[in-house]
Amino acid sequence: MEINKVIYWISTLVMCGVFAFSANMYFTNTEMVKGFFTSLGYPSYIVIPLAVLKVLGIIAVLTKQSKMLMEWAYAGFFFDAVLAFTAHRVAEDGGTMFSIIAIVSLLISRIFYNRVYR
């Protein structure tokens, strides 16, 4: 297996792991997450739909069935990670590391996708 493919899959699995962890937390600790969203000025009703979209995005990225859906998933993950980074910085709760890991692994995954699958 070539090195570009290994880098792609490792970064993709790390990225998907971070978003799966986040979605799981949204499903299992919904009230806590809603409180966090509300304290930062975000509407609390987006918690569950955001968790569902994270799961669907992971499926889109890993299956690669539709290039358009995969591109939308990467874009959604990028915006989610940047907004999460900003929210954690404002809250000063120490959660910025997961956002940084998500952003870096997302960028590496996307760059190496182009190298491996194009």
Burial of 94 (0-12, 13-18, 19+ CB in 10 A): exposed
Q: Which pLDDT belongs to residue 96? A: 85
- Kindly provide the b/e burial profile for residues 35-60, where b requires at least 16 CB atoms within 10 angstroms of the residue's own CB: ebbeeeeeeeeebeebbebbbebbeb
CA atoms within 13 A on the CB side of 24: 7
Helix (H) or strand (E) holding 94: none
Write out pLDDT tens, residues 11-65: 999 999 999 999 999 999 999 999 988 988 889 999 999 999 999 999 999 999 9
The answer to whether 54 and 80 are in contact (CB under 8 A) is yes
Write out pLDDT tens, residues 51-109: 999 999 999 999 999 999 999 999 999 999 999 999 888 888 777 898 999 999 999 99
The model's pTM is 0.91
Q: Which pLDDT belongs to residue 1? A: 63
Burial of 18 (0-12, 13-18, 19+ CB in 10 A): buried
